[in-house]
């Protein structure tokens, strides 16, 4: 069993053309472990997708932060999965907690999106995670299982899916989950996959952690057996993103 370490950079709604070019130049010049050891995917806002795709080093890939739930058409302001494929974009982030919370995306809506994005040949980073209230009420695993279950029903081939566990209380707060807290949920999620999908899917699906990951905390998190990488927000806009990519070496024992 080997799950390639995965590091995603979610740039969220940030950046000007100049800033994006600078960030890409920094990434292009960085020395990182080889493609064999780490898969790196950066996710700029829609308007910069083509710019980033054209400038970015070929060993890194590009993700959109969202896409429309079904085929394109008369949906003002939306971007379809077909358009992303047409641009040569290979990944899309789906179900991010900011969209669930601020745009009222439900488990069913997220599941429809996963279904359509996969049907068009996109790879999907599907996000799940509990709020602070849910954690304090002891319902973390229930919430995460319900979110995962909704999308799992629509997935035929798990090879194109990465699960991102992003506890809402750790996102953009500087309050990172402890390695133990992250490992506990990742372990339980993998067990959920084992019990509800298959042993093979449980062993091969990458479960990455997101929420205030930075250069200082990434190594200890990466050392957890069920943490297969990261989805990084704020720190993905800074040079320290390179250090986070390098935490892949923790898995290799290098
Ligand atoms: O939401 C996140 C990645 O998708 C995490 O954001 P931060 O790393 O800024 O906490």
Quick: pLDDT tens for 185-244: 999 999 999 999 999 999 999 999 999 999 999 999 999 999 999 999 999 999 999 999
Give the domain extent around 16: 5-252
Query: Which atom belonging to ligand 1 lies closest to the Cα atom of 212?
Result: 10
Q: What is the pLDDT of residue 251?
A: 85
The domain that holds 215 is classified in CATH as: 3.20.20.70
Active-site annotation, residues: 96, 166
Render pLDDT for 111-148 as a digit per residue (tens, 0 to 9): 999 999 999 999 999 999 999 999 999 999 999 999 99
Indicate which atom in ligand 1 lies nearest the CA of residue 214. 8
- The tokens describing 113, both together, are 């999106």
Q: What's the pLDDT score for residue 2?
A: 84
User: What is the b/e burial string over 29-51, where b = at least 16 CB atoms within 10 angstroms of the residue's CB?
Assistant: ebebbeeebbbbbbbbbbebbee
Q: How far is CA 139 from CA 42, 94, 135, 148, 176, in A?
A: 31, 22, 6, 14, 19
Q: What are the tens digits of pLDDT across the range 93-114?
A: 999 999 999 999 999 999 999 9
**Is the confidence metric ipTM above 0.95 for this complex?**
yes
Q: Kindly tell me if the per-residue pLDDT of 82 is higher than 60.
A: yes
pLDDT of residue 1: 55
Number of domains making up the chain: 1
Q: Is 217 in the pocket of ligand 1 (CB under 6 A)?
A: no
User: 41 CB less than 6 Å from ligand 1?
Assistant: no
| Whether residue 213 has its Cβ less than 6 Å from ligand 1 | yes
pLDDT digits (tens, 9 = 90+) for 2-52: 899 999 999 999 999 999 999 999 999 999 999 999 999 999 999 999 999
- pLDDT the model gives residue 132: 96
Name which of 83, 90, 22 is nearest 53 in CA terms: 90
């Amino acid at each position: 069993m080997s799950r390639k370490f995965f590091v995603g950079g979610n740039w969220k709604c940030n950046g000007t053309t100049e800033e994006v070019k600078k960030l890409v130049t920094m990434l292009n010049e960085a020395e990182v472990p080889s493609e064999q050891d780490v898969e790196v995917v950066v996710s700029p806002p829609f308007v910069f997708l083509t710019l980033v795709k054209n400038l970015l080093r070929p060993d890194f890939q590009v993700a959109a932060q969202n896409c429309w739930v079904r085929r394109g058409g008369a949906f003002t302001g939306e971007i379809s999965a077909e358009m992303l494929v047409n641009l040569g974009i290979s990944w899309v982030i789906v179900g991010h907690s900011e969209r669930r919370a601020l745009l009222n995306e439900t488990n069913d809506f997220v599941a429809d999106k996963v279904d359509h994005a996969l049907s068009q040949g996109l790879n999907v980073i599907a996000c799940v995670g509990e709020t602070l209230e849910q954690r304090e009420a002891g319902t973390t695993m229930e919430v995460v299982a319900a979110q995962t279950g909704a999308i799992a029903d629509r997935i035929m081939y798990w090879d194109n899916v990465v699960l991102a566990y992003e506890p809402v209380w750790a996102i953009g707060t500087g309050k990172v989950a402890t390695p133990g807290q992250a490992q506990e949920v990742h372990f339980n999620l993998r067990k959920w996959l084992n019990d509800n999908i298959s042993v093979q899917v449980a062993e091969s699906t990458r479960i990455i952690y997101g929420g205030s990951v930075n250069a200082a905390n990434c190594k200890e998190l990466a050392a957890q057996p069920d943490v297969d990488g990261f989805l990084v927000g704020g720190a993905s806009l800074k040079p320290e993103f390179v250090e986070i990519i390098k935490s892949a070496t923790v898995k290799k024992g290098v």
